[in-house]
Structure 1
Amino acid sequence: MTTALPYFLAGNYAPVAGELTTHELPVTGAIPSELAGWYLRNGPNPHDAAGGHWFFGDGMIHGVRLDQGRAVSYRNRWVRTSTFTHGAQTEGPRGEDLTAGPANTHVVRHAGRLLALVESSYPYEITAELETVGSYDFGGRLRTAMTAHPKTCPTTGELHFFGFSRRAPFLTYHRADAAGDLVLTRPIDVPASTMMHDFSMTAKHVVFLDLPVVLSPVPPGSGLMPYRWDETYQARVGVLRRDDAHGEVRWLNVNPCYVFHTVNAYDEADSRIVLYVLRYLRRFDDEQAGHPHAATLWRWTIDLDAGSVHEEQLDDRAGEFPRIDDRKAGLPARCAHVTTTRTGADGQHGAITRYDLHTGATIGSHEFADGQVPGEAAFVPANDTPDGPGWLVSYVYNPTTDTSDLVILDAEELDAKPVATVHLPVRVPFGFHGNWIPDRPTVTG
Structure 2
Amino acid sequence: MQITREPALKYTLEPSNHPYLSGAWTPVHEEVTVDQLEVIEGEVPTDIDGIYLRNTENPVHQPLGRHHPFDGDAMVHQVDIRDGKVAYRNRFIRTHCFIEEQIAGQSLWGGLMDPPGTGKRPGFGAHGGLKDTGSTDIVVHAGVAYATFYQCGEAWMLDPVTLENLGKAPWGPIDGISAHPKVDEATGEMMFFNYSVHAPYMHYGVVDRAGRLAHYVPIPLPGPRLPHDMAITKNWSILNDMPLFWDEEALKRDIHAARLHEGLPSRFALIPRHGQPEDIRWFEAEPTYVLHWTNAYEARNEDGEDEVVLEGYHQSCPMPEPLQEHGRYAHMMAYVDEHSFQCRLHRWRFNLSTSETSEERLSDRIVEFGMINPDYAMRRNRYTWSTTSKPGWFLFNGYCRHDSETGEEQLYQLPEGVYASESPVVPKQGATKEDQAYLVTFLIDENKGTSEFAILDAGDIAKGPICRLALPHKISSGVHSTWVAREMLGS
Using the size of structure 2 for normalisation, the TM-score is: 0.79
Aligned to 1:391: 438
Q: Cα deviation per residue 1:7-52 (whole Å; 9 max; x = unaligned)?
A: 2222212322332333432212111123333321002111114263
Counterpart CA distance in 1 for 2:25 and 2:238 is 32
Aligned to 2:18: 6
Counterpart CA distance in 1 for 2:183 and 2:73 is 26
Aligned to 1:373: 419
Matched, 1:403 2:442: no
Aligned to 2:376: 328
Match of 1:77 among 91, 97, 101: 91
Aligned-partner residue type, residue 25 of structure 1:
L
Following TM superposition, by how much is the alpha carbon of 1:284 offset from its aligned partner in structure 2, in angstroms? 4.6
Alignment of 1:4-403 (within 5 A): 5-27=17-39, 28-50=41-63, 52-72=67-87, 74-86=88-100, 87-88=108-109, 89-90=121-122, 101-119=132-150, 120-127=152-159, 128-138=161-171, 142-216=173-247, 226-242=257-273, 244-269=275-300, 271-284=306-319, 287=322, 292-341=340-389, 350-362=397-409, 364-383=410-429, 387=434, 389-403=436-450
Aligned-partner residue type, residue 422 of structure 2:
E
Following TM superposition, by how much is the alpha carbon of 1:378 offset from its aligned partner in structure 2, in angstroms? 0.5
Q: Cα deviation per residue 1:34-73 (whole Å; 9 max; x = unaligned)?
A: 333332100211111426311121111111232322223x
Secondary structure of 1:7's counterpart equals coil
Following TM superposition, by how much is the alpha carbon of 1:159 offset from its aligned partner in structure 2, in angstroms? 1.2
Q: Cα deviation per residue 1:166-188 (whole Å; 9 max; x = unaligned)?
A: 22221111112222222110101
Aligned-partner residue type, residue 173 of structure 2:
L
Contact 2:362 2:404 in 1 (8 A): no
Gaps of 5+ in 1: none
Counterpart CA distance in 2 for 1:144 and 1:61 is 24
Contact 2:49 2:486 in 1 (8 A): yes
Change (3 A) 1:10 1:417: closer
Secondary structure of 2:70's counterpart equals helix
Counterpart CA distance in 2 for 1:95 and 1:114 is 24
Q: Cα deviation per residue 1:116-167 (whole Å; 9 max; x = unaligned)?
A: 11132111111222232211132xx633311221112243222111111222
Following TM superposition, by how much is the alpha carbon of 1:94 offset from its aligned partner in structure 2, in angstroms? 11
Counterpart CA distance in 1 for 2:32 and 2:16 is 29
Gaps of 5+ in 2: 1-14, 101-107, 110-120, 325-333
**Is the deviation greater in 300-309 or in 125-134?**
300-309
Counterpart CA distance in 1 for 2:92 and 2:310 is 35
Match of 2:477 among 422, 430, 438: 430
**Is the deviation greater in 286-295 or in 46-55?**
286-295
Secondary structure of 2:162's counterpart equals coil
**Count of residue pairs the alignment pairs up:** 430
Contact 2:313 2:346 in 1 (8 A): yes
Secondary structure of 2:475's counterpart equals coil
* Amino-acid identity (%): 28
Secondary structure of 2:173's counterpart equals coil
Following TM superposition, by how much is the alpha carbon of 1:110 offset from its aligned partner in structure 2, in angstroms? 0.6
Change (3 A) 1:239 1:392: same
Aligned-partner residue type, residue 71 of structure 2:
F
Counterpart CA distance in 1 for 2:274 and 2:173 is 21
User: Structure 1 or 2: larger helix share?
Assistant: 2
Contact 1:281 1:292 in 2 (8 A): no
Counterpart CA distance in 1 for 2:260 and 2:412 is 34
Aligned-partner residue type, residue 82 of structure 1:
H
Counterpart CA distance in 1 for 2:314 and 2:321 is 18
Aligned-partner residue type, residue 229 of structure 2:
D
Counterpart CA distance in 2 for 1:261 and 1:165 is 20
Change (3 A) 1:92 1:392: closer
Change (3 A) 1:268 1:36: closer
Aligned-partner residue type, residue 153 of structure 1:
D
Aligned-partner residue type, residue 381 of structure 1:
P
